Amino acid sequence: MTSEPQKIRWGILGPGTIAKAFAGGVAHSRTGTLVAIGARNPGKSGLAENFPGARILDGYEALLADPDVDAIYISTPHPSHAEWAIRAAEAGKHVLCEKPMGLTAFEADAMIHAARKAGTFLGEAFMYRLHPQTTKLVELVRSGAIGEVRMVKSSFGFAMPGFMPEHRLYANDLAGGGILDVGGYPVSMARLIAGAALGKPFAEPDKVAGAAHLGQSGVDEWASALLHFPGGIVAELSCGISLAQDNVLRILGTRGRIEVADFWFASGREGGTGEIRIIRPGAEEVIEVREGRWLYAFEVDAAGEAILAGKQEFAWPGMGWADSLGNLRVLDKWRAAIGLEYEIEKPEKRVNTISGRRLRSGGTTIRKREIPGLPRPASCLALGFEDFRTFSSGMILLDAYFEAGGNVFDTAFIYGSGYTETLLGQWLKNRGVREHSVVIGKGAHTPLCYPDVIGKQLTQSLDRLQTDHVDVYFMHRDDPDVPVDEFVDAMDREVRAGRIRGPVGGSNWTRERMDEAIAYAERTGKQKPGALSNNFSLAEMLVPIWPGCVTSSSDDWKAWLTARQMPNFAWSSQGRGFFTGRAGRDQRDNEELVRVWYSEKNFGRRDRAIELANRLGKSPIHIALAYVLAQPFPSVPLIGPRTLDELEDSLQALDIALSPDDIAWLDGGSDQHRRTG
């Protein structure tokens, strides 16, 4: 007697129109069964008829708490995808999320981070990618059926009856418009075809341009994008919710073209015959793809097979994590090109964390320490964040760092042309944590490195930061041609005015200038420099990364820092990739790494970091960060993670306690000491 094969018990979160199509796919799948629906309005008419046999639960939380549900299909409006996918992962549920996975690649990254930590499956529901017709298209391109691919043209556009402000497609707060709703289809197909032409699972464009019409609710009603891929492949894409388009996929090659109408429906929602037309000079061939299975059953089974096999993402040609992230990065650039930021993404509406909860304080993962001159304890790691250009993208990392116990934020007048300060100011106000935070300000960068610039730039910085003071202030560069007393006087004026309420000092200043500045301040009763922000790392910077940079990693510097007990907020504290697989004695493709860090002395340090990391079950980059933290003077590394995974990885260094002997061995390789764990 054979037992019935195990089936994935599905629950649907958000029983809308697309959820009914998915339910049909589950009913016609091999691997799944629909057992429950989570509804905000469980008494709504039609639920029992549209989802026969499923238990109707009161609310989304009830669905996540249901022990008889293995996997959740999320079909809520776009803005809540991230929140409920993260909560589902935390509840131990597998997730198939309707496209787009998140509003941005940053949101999708946070969702992937949650699934990775929970060990659960997460997939993006581009149903067409799992259909045999898509595989056949890839085979034709790879086989050279139309020669070398030069261009892809595709659209997905339809016309609503008219402007309907109450409809989700026109609602700004629901992230309406065409790009996020249907634009992902032609983008994902273009990336798939370009990848097939280049011998890869998918390809990423190196250029993205976009244009659109933004309607009266501020969403894109019709839009076009132009993508350029390595190898010269160009994609012309369009979408719309207020403009019907021909919706034909065209793949143009040197020996002909391929055309497919409505490729995302393949052979039909409930099965049928799809047609792929190959058009060559003087000839046309039609390849029929007959498929009796329901369209949405393919994604149900692909997800089910992955879950049953213990996999966390779709197998190709499904949208794996890297594929979904790449697709959203293109949509992010498309939106940026047309200036589309939804109201729901702005600080006024983003009052909760990405998981939909209020920001939590009191985290202890990142320990705190006293820094002379600061009125409150400062976290042992400081956060730099130059890479974010919207509040909704930057808040994810800022929230996670703060909840882990971090409270030192590194900004500068020139970072992001001022946007880094603006973003931090929005976040501090929005989250109400200014009085718990240590804000680093920097100004007077070359070529505007003059005493009178300090106050002028600080005024602008404070306005951006929405505060009346910074807690630490560094001159961003030094100008040795200007008497040091003029700089000390300028910073002292800001201290006396209350606009700097902690240590002042220099970023990229020499010992000689610091000594001179300290001596002048002591003679005249001015605020003396009490902190530095110079490069410091286990690997010594051989030449400046950028003009005017100063490293403090030499023996002379370490002795000076220790003797003065001078706090150093160390930038590039992990050697900018020197302690990762990007570097190696035989790897010389990265010009910056070779120029700045490659020396036999540094490689000896790297070798010892690798050896110690292997003994401790860590990575060499963790050892490099622990080295900076364990110095005999106040040493605060600046870290610049771009993702939650990178932040969490950095935090692994915090449970490594290096002794003075460990430090000496890592630095110089003394045979008298070997760290054994």
Spell out where 281-380 has E strands.
283-291, 368-369, 378-379
- State the Cα–Cα distance between residues 598 and 192, nearest whole angstrom: 38
Mode of pairing for the β-strands spanning 32-39 and 55-58 = parallel
CB environment 518-532: b (16+ within 10 A), e (fewer): bebbeeeebbbbbbb
Among residues 44, 93, 99, 601, the one annotated as catalytic is 99
| Helix (H) or strand (E) segment spanning residue 460 | helix 451-465
- State the Cα–Cα distance between residues 411 and 440, nearest whole angstrom: 6
Chain-centre distance for alpha carbon 450 = 37
| Alpha-helix residue ranges (DSSP H) falling in 40-80 | 47-50, 60-65
- Sorted by sequence, the CB contacts under 8 Å of residue 390 that are 6+ apart come out as 104, 341, 345
Backbone angles phi, psi at 216, to 5 degrees: -65, -20
99 included as an active-site residue: yes
- State the Cα–Cα distance between residues 500 and 470, nearest whole angstrom: 5
What torsion, rounded to 10 degrees, do the Cα atoms 395, 397, 401, 403 define? 60
- State the Cα–Cα distance between residues 386 and 442, nearest whole angstrom: 14
Give the amino acid at 555.
D
What sign results for the dihedral spanned by CA atoms 197, 203, 208, 214? positive
For 277, counting Cβ atoms within 10 Å of its Cβ (0-12 exposed, 13-18 middle, 19+ buried), the class is middle
SS (H, E, C) 139-204: HHHHCCECECEEEEEEEEECECCCCCCCCCCCCHHHCCCHHHHHHHHHHHHHHHHHHHHCCCCCCC
Mode of pairing for the β-strands spanning 234-240 and 122-125 = unpaired
Taking residue 294's Cβ as centre, other Cβ atoms within 10 Å add up to 20
Q: Which residues are identified as catalytic?
A: 99
